[in-house]
Structure 1
């Protein structure tokens, strides 16, 4: 997914139902006719089409039967007004076209040479335009895609032509970014209307949307007041980390990182290095004895000691925050360390970030998550915690994030992946629009854990630490990707962490 330059200023993203409610508020409260909004959407989409493909002389507009189709009819009419050839393909039952969509169809028919072009499409039609406009399925599409629409989507794909999707690509769930069929429409450009949708920025949907442009249709800002949505992470809490001239390291927290079984010490090295870069005052690594020398050789600023389960409670009482999991493994040693950390967290209020094999240990042994913990699972780990496959997690990312945040009677969860979601105690608290696929590299999650632990140690509440850690991690990954054309390493991300705005 490529988002336009204004994307970071999107304050929120919305579910399909929330977007439709915004649409309805604009109609009911502001007196903007539904057809006016539809006309604005279609005209705006055609403008983007002309800007992206100025050489196009003919367009194929493939429509369903709802309001998304109405937007497509306006595009078809606008194209005809501009002197372009138009192939208008109607999929589904034309008798279902009603309301504003029916008015839009008449708008198109008045401008097309052959008003029968909008008749029922047969299974044998072929796109003959220079660009295909996808106006098949809108934000309300749920469940299995009907056969006629599946065939149409397959024919769009088979055309090999560039695709402009209206609102979102057909076959993508607007709420979760899940694919509603094996191969949805793969757009080159998506023009989305009124407000950005969750399904455009998380889950597999990001693989299908192409470049994303938002058209608000001149809806007044007051329509968005108290309209829900998920806040987009913006790093605003970074200002809380600015230091006074009289600062000393004792003011920035003691962080304990537990992990690193034999042969897996790299994970705690990365977490520790990230914690230092994120401003933790003192960072101690509790690991297997074999890791002490490599840890200190890489980062002499860290403190390293060998630990056993019996040491964990005392060490945690001396810390301002604890990270458990990076490189922990699933041996008897790692399992005992995890159990000791969880038990100590239930006895003492030290903020606890749980990652990696600590999450797997919780799932494997069906252990309780301590209240107020901060969890950082990837889809596989999230699935093990909830008894789901990774595919099921990806198909319902917002719901999974909410379920994770209810573990332990209420915690904070950062469900990693494209469009990382933050949830707290059953509420979505944020989504990250930054980051890039090159960050899918070994150790990247350990870097995030180190950043999150450092922020907890500096006194940020778990949800604020989660939001800022994910944002800092994504920004560092984006900036690191600009510095090299080779594969990105987790250590590259560490080197790009910065605490300036």
Structure 2
């Protein structure tokens, strides 16, 4: 154990994501492959957690450690023993049960008691001096709301002024979905073990996980041999999608994109989508919209080619374009419906957003050449279900959308999910609450459409577009905060991320 301690500093979180159930079924196989017992893995998890807590809270002197009746609690017993040995005062609360503890957790409990540790009932009055809480209450096996007595303990921890370090996952957060069906720990830091779980990245996760850390517990080589079903994407991935342009490239080689929408009163949507497409590198962008929108759009962004949407201009533009985007400001009146009916006959790569999705929900079809980009409300209409059902399992919702509508799906939200009918699945690990304002989706549509026009595959264009979009917003949030961020503000930072070869050299 001592020899391994120096290796137990938390590492940057990986890009491979695994379902918790898979890990529970294969954890013993992983340990066996390295000649380890499950108890040895628990010792490593506890040691890594203790190290993390010490690093982030070196001046704390009294830790309250809450242990549940499972292996998550076993990790807590290990942390308690190490903390006490380091001279920290430890108050350990345990949730008792009629059922025996798992074998490894029982070993950890006995080691704590043999070291002179005490176990208190969870309902005791907490010492006033507590300055750090360690959450080892509920692990990744939770599938429903915590029971009332556990919920009360969670609420008490959240109301305390001490920061909380969660072991593997905040208690009450569902590991595979990010849903919070009941009380949930609001952690300052979460250290997850062996694999990154999707519930730490999507759903309600961002509200409760704090800063996420990761430790493979020495199983890196075994994990490297496995094929992860889900990928995590952030700005570091952009360089593999977006290569530097060839010096002899020209506007024709950078893609021709037509964007259709902007009914009366919604010129802003089509204007933002158009500029976003230009800022993301499309060579030529043509906008088809209402006649009265032409002058304002050309005044605001003269690089756009803006035309009135008519039967003739639409037919000619669909022939001209490499890629089609339809939906921003389209409306659901006859004007928009007729345009969509014409577009849906095209076999060119296309993206449908906003009212195009609302019309699609009325007349569903399945096609392979389309990206759809619903927010949860639009997704609920597309699947004829409640928004709460979408948000309770966003990965499942994205999979259902792909099965029903084909192509590629971008289910927007905190922890956007991208899924394709080839079985690819990605979680977008960028973005912030400042993006909850009108027009952000229009900007995203333009970015993805532009990347599609630059010959990225639909899945890669969707993932790269979402990452560039969210990363551009993160720069603004870091500098100015999240409140008051406008969709158009992203244009000032977007270029850094669609040119990732320059981003590392440009910090202005």
Q: TM-score, structure 2 length as denominator? A: 0.90
1:18 aligns with 2:19: no
Report the CA distance shift for 1:5/1:253 in structure 2 as closer, same or farther (over 3 A).
Answer: farther
In structure 2, which of residues 258, 274, 278 is the aligned counterpart of residue 272 of structure 1? 274
Change (3 A) 1:227 1:243: closer
The number of residues matched between the two structures is: 485
Cα distance in structure 1, aligned partners of 2:215 and 2:110: 24
Could you say if the C-alpha distance between residues 143 and 121 of structure 1 is closer, same or farther in structure 2, counting changes exceeding 3 Å?
same
**Residue in 2 that maps onto 1:157:** 158
Matching of residue 62 in structure 1 with residue 59 in structure 2: no
**Paired position in structure 2 for 1:90:** 94
Deviation, structure 1 residue 411: 1.1
Are 1:447 and 2:443 an aligned pair? yes
CA distance in 1, matches of 2:284, 2:29: 52
Query: For 1:205 and 1:454, how far apart are their aligned partners in 2?
Result: 30
Q: How far off is 1:311 after superposition?
A: 4.7
Q: Distance in 2 between matches of 1:69 and 1:448?
A: 43
| Contact 1:362-1:369 at 8 Å conserved across structures | no
Tell me, in whole angstroms, the C-alpha distance in 2 between the residues paired with 1:244 and 1:216: 40
Distance 1:488 1:361, change over 3 A: same
SS of corresponding position for 2:294: helix
- Offset of 1:146 from its aligned partner? 2.1
- Cα offset for 1:310? 6.3
Q: Which among 230, 244, 247 is matched to residue 246 of structure 2?
A: 244
CA distance in 2, matches of 1:438, 1:13: 26
| 1:287 counterpart residue number | 289
Post-superposition offset of 1:339: 2.7
Distance (whole Å) between structure 2 residues aligned to residue 482 and residue 227 of structure 1: 35
Match of 1:53 among 51, 57, 65: 57
Judged with a 3 Å threshold, the aligned counterparts in structure 2 of structure 1 residues 288 and 393 are, in CA distance, closer, same or farther, namely same
Alignment-derived partner of residue 255 in structure 2: 253
Select the residue among 449, 460, 466 that pairs with 1:464.
460
Equivalent in the alignment of 1:316: 318
Q: 2:506 corresponds to which residue?
A: none
**Aligned residue in 2 for 1:167:** 168
Question: Given the superposition, is the C-alpha separation of residues 127 and 362 from structure 1 closer, same or farther in structure 2, using an over 3 Å criterion?
Answer: farther
| Deviation for aligned residue 1:321 | 0.4
CA contact (8 A) 2:46 2:75 kept: yes
Q: Which runs of 5+ in 1 are unaligned?
A: none
Shift of 1:69: 0.6
In 1, Cα distance between equivalents of 2:38 and 2:274: 55
Distance in 2 (alpha carbons) for counterparts of 1:5 and 1:317: 54
Q: 1:6 to 1:217 in 2, by over 3 A?
A: closer
Q: Which runs of 5+ in 2 are unaligned?
A: 1-8, 501-508
1:367 to 364, 367, 388: 364
Is the CA contact 1:58–1:130 (under 8 Å) kept in the aligned structure 2? yes
Alignment equivalent of 1:407, drawn from 394, 400, 404: 404
Shift of 1:484: 3.3
Q: Is the 8 A contact 1:169 1:187 kept in 2?
A: yes
Residue among 360, 385, 389 paired with 1:388: 385
Counterparts of 1:30-41 in structure 2, within 5 Å, are: 30-41=34-45
> What residue number does 1:430 align with?
426
Name the SS for the 2:204 alignment partner.
helix
Q: What SS does the corresponding residue of 1:195 show, helix, strand or coil?
A: coil
The answer to which of 462-471 and 145-154 deviates more is 145-154
- Note the alpha carbon deviations across 1:401-443, whole angstroms, 9 max, x for none: 11111223x2101111111111011624211111222122211
Q: Tell me the equivalent position of 1:135.
A: 136
> Partners in 2 of 1:362 and 1:375 — Cα distance?
10
For 1:171 and 1:106, how far apart are their aligned partners in 2?
26
**Matched-pair contact (CA < 8 Å) for 1:255–1:282:** yes
SS in 1 for 2:348: coil
Partner residue in 2 for 1:306:
308
Cα gap change, 1:220 to 1:237, in 2 (>3 Å)? closer
> Residues 72-96 of structure 1, C-alpha deviation per residue, up to 9 Å, x if partnerless?
1101111111122221111140642
- Equivalent in the alignment of 2:223: 223
Give the TM-score normalised by structure 1. 0.92
